[in-house]
């Protein structure tokens, strides 16, 4: 995110790579995902910005270095993206609490909390160990999001779903990926991540 510190290291990285042959009438595919992180809300605009990417080969038009999961600002999935709206609305005072401009002289300013703040509430965190009841450090998440990308019918596509801790290995993140489907019937499919 522009103006925020960048870490030079990642930790606890893990990936699942799948190779698929698309149906001959496919023009694209989409999948749903939900990203959870202990880095939200305290560590917004710090170097601790765990990330999730979906790297594709061959690179589809519209991808960013092969990544097809990002927000409208072209930022990979992490606590800085616009879709981060699940959390405790009462925790607005913790938003970017660990962002310290004095420690990062090149930073213009720490970001203000979005308005509305955590409009989806914290119900989606219940039972995930990120709800603040099983530990003393509540987290946040995105709502369910959907990423789509084009494909050549009858061709092979490789997707690597990867997630990692950025800057440390202390506060973890996780991602759920679900509902993969081929898109058929013609039409143009573009790379985008949206709320379904």
Which tens digits make up the pLDDT trace of 58-81? 999 999 999 999 988 888 899 888
Q: How far apart are the first and last CA of the chain?
A: 24
**What is residue 4's predicted lDDT score, i.e. its pLDDT?**
82
**What is residue 135's predicted lDDT score, i.e. its pLDDT?**
62
Calculate the CA 76 to chain-centre distance: 6
Main-chain dihedrals φ then ψ at residue 38, nearest 5 degrees: -75, -10
pLDDT lower than 70: segments of the chain: 102-106, 133-136
User: What tokens does 53 get?
Assistant: 């990417």
Distance CA 87, CA 105 (A): 30
| Closest-CA residue to 175 (of 15, 17, 36) | 36
**What is residue 102's predicted lDDT score, i.e. its pLDDT?**
63
Those residues with Cβ within 8 angstroms of residue 154's Cβ, 6 or more apart along the chain or in another chain: 21, 22, 23, 24, 26
Give this prediction's pTM.
0.91
**What is residue 105's predicted lDDT score, i.e. its pLDDT?**
67
Q: Are 141 and 48 in contact (CB under 8 A)?
A: no
Q: Are 164 and 7 in contact (CB under 8 A)?
A: no
**What is residue 104's predicted lDDT score, i.e. its pLDDT?**
66
């Amino acid at each position: 995110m522009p103006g925020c510190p960048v870490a030079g290291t990642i930790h606890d990285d893990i990936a699942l790579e799948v190779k698929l042959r698309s149906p001959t009438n496919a023009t694209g595919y989409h999948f749903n995902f939900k990203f959870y992180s202990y880095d939200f809300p305290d560590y917004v605009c710090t170097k601790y910005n765990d990330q999730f990417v979906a790297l594709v080969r061959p690179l589809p038009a519209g991808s960013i270095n092969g990544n097809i999961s990002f927000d409208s600002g072209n930022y990979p999935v992490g606590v800085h993206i616009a879709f981060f709206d699940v959390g405790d609305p009462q925790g607005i005072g913790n938003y970017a609490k660990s962002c310290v401009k004095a420690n990062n002289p090149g930073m213009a300013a720490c970001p203000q909390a979005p308005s509305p703040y955590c409009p989806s509430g914290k119900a989606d965190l219940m039972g995930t160990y990120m709800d603040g009841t099983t530990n003393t450090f509540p987290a946040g998440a995105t709502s369910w999001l959907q990423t789509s990308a084009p494909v050549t019918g009858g061709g092979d596509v490789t997707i690597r779903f990867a997630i990692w801790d950025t800057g440390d290995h202390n506060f973890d993140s996780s991602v759920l990926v679900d509902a993969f489907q081929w898109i058929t019937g013609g039409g143009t499919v573009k790379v985008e991540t949206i709320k379904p």
